[in-house]
Structure 1
Amino acid sequence: MIEYPAQADAPHSHLPFSPCTRFGDLIFVSGQASVDSAGAIVTDTFEGEVRRSIDNLRRVLESAGSGLQYVVQTRNYVRDPADVAAFNRIYPEYFRPPFPARTTITNCLPEVLKYEIECVAVMPPALR
């Protein structure tokens, strides 16, 4: 059975997608960008947008009963290839070795966004 965990304090979007879905022990989180809880884009420096996006990802995961430490794969979208070095510096602050599987794509976002992240995670062992 596919579940759509409630996201009381997680950011919501006016676009037609679920922030996350859960199937068994797997959690799939839609792309999280630098947005506020109502889904309005918050422009910032690249670093600020990365941090806000990953914090939004964390909030969505927690609302589903998981957390960043249970992420098994991330997909990262960086608008400007020149920002990849900064991204590689910030990423280990949130994800620890052994790191999740990761894909990073550049030149792929609209002008209004500098960064976006999506992931696949699992439920914590105690909740399986």
Structure 2
Amino acid sequence: MSIEYPGKSDTPRSHLPFSPATQVGDLLFVSGQASVDVTGKIISDTFEGEMRRSIENLRKVLEDADSDLAHVVQTRNYVRDPEDVAEFNQIYGEYFSAPFPARTTITNCLGPNLRYEIDCVAVVRKKRS
């Protein structure tokens, strides 16, 4: 089975050495998405602002690889400050619905420049013939 690196020219990319997404068969592995602009520059904001920008970046990477949030099977979430976990759960429920993807959430884990980051495993949508 081959390994592919899907994306488009405007798929959010980091200047760091990793791919936004890697595909093996119908599985898509999306690297951590944070509150960054299209050039990879960190955009500091409130927790809510950073989380929403991160998930919108995730949505763009998924769509550029023929998937979407509804096809996410697992997320890993990194929340810098434990006091943001309640807000995290509320916002998360706006983007993902029951039955929710499998999920891991880690706190006290990001440096001072980021409040939130998310990565995921998703299934690629079947292309219509």
TM-score (ref. length: structure 1): 0.96
Partner of 2:63: 62
Partner of 1:80: 81
Residue 42 of structure 2 aligns to a residue whose secondary structure is coil
Partner of 1:98: 99
For structure 2, the residue ranges without an aligned partner over 5 or more in a row are none
Matched, 1:108 2:109: yes
- Are the equivalent residues in 2 in contact too, given 1:20–1:29 (CA < 8 A)? yes
For structure 1, the residue ranges without an aligned partner over 5 or more in a row are none
Question: Letter of the aligned partner of 2:67 in structure 1?
Answer: S
CA distance in structure 2 between the aligned counterparts of 1:77 and 1:8, rounded to whole angstroms: 27
Partner of 2:28: 27
CA distance in structure 2 between the aligned counterparts of 1:63 and 1:113, rounded to whole angstroms: 24
Residue 47 of structure 1 aligns to a residue whose secondary structure is helix
Partner of 1:52: 53
Number of residue-to-residue matches in the alignment: 127
Matched, 1:15 2:16: yes
CA distance in structure 2 between the aligned counterparts of 1:94 and 1:7, rounded to whole angstroms: 23
Residue 15 of structure 1 aligns to a residue whose secondary structure is coil
- 1:126, CA displacement in angstroms? 4.6
Q: Deviations over 1:6-35 (max 9, x none)?
A: 232221111000000000000000000000
Q: Deviations over 1:68-105 (max 9, x none)?
A: 00000000000000000000000011001000000000
TM-score (ref. length: structure 2): 0.96
Question: Letter of the aligned partner of 2:106 in structure 1?
Answer: I
Runs ≥4 in structure 1, deviation > 6 angstroms?
A: none
CA distance in structure 2 between the aligned counterparts of 1:126 and 1:11, rounded to whole angstroms: 23
Q: In terms of mean alpha carbon deviation, does 109-118 or 1-10 score higher?
A: 1-10
